Amino acid sequence: MIKPHEAPGKVSSSEEVVILGGGVTGLAAARASGLPVYERWETPGGICASYYVRPGRDERLPAPPGDSHAYRFEIGGGHWIFGASTLVRRFLERLAPLESYERRAAVYFPDRKLYVPYPLQNHLGYLGRDLAAKILEEIQRPPQGQPATLADWLEQSFGRTLMELFFAPFHEAYTAGLWTRVAPQDAYKSPVDLELVKQGASGQTPAVGYNAFFLYPRHGLDALVAGLARTCRLHLKRWVTRIDPRRKHVEFADGSGVRYQTLLSTLPLNQMLRLAGLAPDEEPDPATSVLVLNIGAWRGSECPDAHWIYVPRSSSRFHRVGFYSNIEAGFAPGLAGQRVGLYVERAFRRREELVGEEEESYASAVIGELRQWGFITEVEVVSPTWVEVAYTWRLPGSRWRERALRLLEEHDILMTGRFGKWAFQGIADSIQDGLLAGAALGRGAR
């Protein structure tokens, strides 16, 4: 049981170093340093926090009920641990036992009820001989010039036919329309290996990509978060409302505050600038938020055994469906295979987010679509969560990120972690960031 420090009311304390954000990066930094960490929500873990909902209920439980008859969901959808070095893995195994998995992911074309293993370009044979041959010819054409945008890079890498079939509609949804404006990035998510592309046009290919193999805690991600938080000086329900970089003071929504000499933050870079009243003289790089629709239901006859699927076109405009209970049966109550716990992701630009009845209408449309596909039958739980800054992007030629980090550093505010550094990375790298930051700033380093 995590025992956070109680909110002191309208009192300002003082610390030499303060950590903001009790996600996995902040917890790792706090654990490595002994420094205090302040978290916005009632439980630690950030988007990696788990919660439980009984069938037919709405209440979110922070821990499984005694009879275990509940769905287990995660705030940010499925978060699997990939790319962990040997040292980080051994550290994680001391906190919670881990299981290893080989990725089962696919691109799903609903109009054809066709599943093509991921990555799509390495399995062209599933699309038919003629189409595969046409795509293969386009992929092998030499690139023309330097791509300026993500859209340019995708077309140059995969050709017009595969763009129209998958990459264009998928990235339109995945980036909420930003893919024609932002710079190419994260190319390792869509690896291009011509030998494997050729092999996959007529035969089978091995699993490749950054998440071809991944880890997940045997007793759930919340067990890992609890292990990280166990020895931390953790202050929960501390929502930062303002940072005064001149006075070096953090204000919280409950009226309390804390003074610092150095601030280590894992909060999203754009939010930190706003809270501190600082702004680089450059157009900010954009971010997208994601609505994660967690659903618990009875399994339909056509429900795939994939861990997750990418969807280029859906009438509800979602781009990915993940199946928690295909990874670990404990995500769904009752006998294995009868129920399914899943999550559905849809990206938004902040000004487009759904509220109130719009969100309910969207949830109903998603359920109808998943029923039509045969994935689910009777729905027992619908639980939406929002990730305010889910994916970060760069504008072509932008120096905003570098200037923002430097501006904050000039005011003794150091940024770390996936969102603090404005760069995509997984749980393992985020925890490693936290451990390094904590070791550098903790008392043992002075």
DSSP string, 253-284: TTS-EEE-SEEEE-S-HHHHHHHHT---SSPP
Tokens representing 118 are 């991921």
Q: Which of 200, 220, 242 is the C-terminal boundary of a domain? A: 200
Please indicate, yes or no, if residue 5 is contained in any of the structural domains.
no
Tokens representing 299 are 């399994």
pLDDT in tens, 85-126: 999 999 999 999 999 999 999 999 999 999 999 999 999 999
Residues 406, 272 share a domain: yes
- C-alpha distance from residue 167 to each of 96, 180, 220, 282, 392 (Å): 37, 12, 33, 30, 19
Residues 280, 131 share a domain: no
pLDDT given for residue 4 in this prediction: 55
pLDDT in tens, 219-268: 889 999 999 999 999 999 999 999 999 999 999 999 999 999 999 999 99
* Whole-angstrom distance, CA of residue 351 vs CA of residue 346: 14
Residues 281, 136 share a domain: no
Contact between residue 367 and residue 341 where contact means Cβ atoms under 8 Å apart? no
Average pLDDT on 389-408 reads: 97
Backbone φ and ψ of 286, nearest 5°: -85, 165
249, containing H or E segment: strand 249-252
What is the C-alpha radius of gyration for the chain, rounded to an integer number of angstroms?
A: 22
Tokens representing 321 are 């469906």
pLDDT in tens, 161-178: 999 999 999 999 999 999
Residues 376, 296 share a domain: yes
Contact between residue 419 and residue 392 where contact means Cβ atoms under 8 Å apart? yes
Give the DSSP per-residue string, 353-384.
---THHHHHHHHHHHHHHHHTTSEEEEEEEEE
Please indicate, yes or no, if residue 329 is contained in any of the structural domains.
yes
pLDDT given for residue 204 in this prediction: 86
- For the cut 50, the answer to whether the pLDDT of residue 410 exceeds it is yes
Q: How many residues does the chain have?
A: 446
Task: Please give the distance of CA 9 from its chain centroid, rounded to a whole number.
Answer: 33
pLDDT given for residue 13 in this prediction: 76
Residues 273, 243 share a domain: yes
Tokens representing 7 are 């909110």
3-state secondary structure of 99: strand
pLDDT given for residue 446 in this prediction: 56
DSSP single-letter state for residue 247: T
- Count the domains in the chain: 3
- Mean model confidence pLDDT for the chain: 93
Q: Which of 200, 223, 257 is the C-terminal boundary of a domain? A: 200
Q: How confident is the model at residue 436 (pLDDT cuts 50, 70, 90)?
A: very high
* Parallel, antiparallel or unpaired: strands 98-102 and 213-217: antiparallel
Please indicate, yes or no, if residue 207 is contained in any of the structural domains.
no
Q: How confident is the model at residue 354 (pLDDT cuts 50, 70, 90)?
A: confident
- For the cut 50, the answer to whether the pLDDT of residue 423 exceeds it is yes
pLDDT given for residue 445 in this prediction: 59
How many Cα neighbours within 13 Å face the side chain of 337? 2
Please indicate, yes or no, if residue 212 is contained in any of the structural domains.
no
pLDDT given for residue 1 in this prediction: 45
- C-alpha distance from residue 174 to each of 37, 211, 287, 392, 393 (Å): 32, 18, 12, 12, 12
Taking alpha carbons only, the member of 46, 88, 92, 17 closest to residue 433 is 88
Contact between residue 361 and residue 316 where contact means Cβ atoms under 8 Å apart? no
Q: Which of 184, 200, 216 is the C-terminal boundary of a domain? A: 200
Average pLDDT on 176-196 reads: 88
Residues 354, 308 share a domain: yes
pLDDT given for residue 363 in this prediction: 97
- C-alpha distance from residue 185 to each of 148, 153, 391 (Å): 11, 9, 12
pLDDT given for residue 443 in this prediction: 74
Residues 345, 270 share a domain: no
Q: What is the CATH number of the domain that holds 420?
A: 3.50.50.60
Contact between residue 236 and residue 227 where contact means Cβ atoms under 8 Å apart? no
Beta bridge partners of 263: 18, 413
Task: Please give the distance of CA 400 from its chain centroid, rounded to a whole number.
Answer: 22
Residues 424, 344 share a domain: no
Contact between residue 419 and residue 26 where contact means Cβ atoms under 8 Å apart? no
Instruction: Give percent above pLDDT 90 in the chain.
Output: 83
Tokens representing 323 are 């199946």
Tokens representing 146 are 């330097």
Please indicate, yes or no, if residue 139 is contained in any of the structural domains.
yes
Please indicate, yes or no, if residue 109 is contained in any of the structural domains.
no
pLDDT given for residue 193 in this prediction: 86
Taking alpha carbons only, the member of 181, 180, 206, 208 closest to residue 192 is 208
Residues 329, 291 share a domain: yes
Residues 256, 388 share a domain: no
Contact between residue 322 and residue 77 where contact means Cβ atoms under 8 Å apart? yes
Please indicate, yes or no, if residue 296 is contained in any of the structural domains.
yes
Range of the structural domain that residue 131 is part of: 120-200
Q: Give the list of residues 6+ apart from residue 68 with CB closer than 8 angstroms, or none.
A: 330, 333
- C-alpha distance from residue 31 to each of 25, 261, 273, 434 (Å): 10, 19, 26, 9
pLDDT given for residue 12 in this prediction: 66
Contact between residue 342 and residue 295 where contact means Cβ atoms under 8 Å apart? yes
Please indicate, yes or no, if residue 219 is contained in any of the structural domains.
no
The pTM assigned to this predicted structure is 0.93
Q: What is the CATH number of the domain that holds 82?
A: 3.90.660
Backbone φ and ψ of 344, nearest 5°: -125, 130
* Whole-angstrom distance, CA of residue 195 vs CA of residue 72: 41
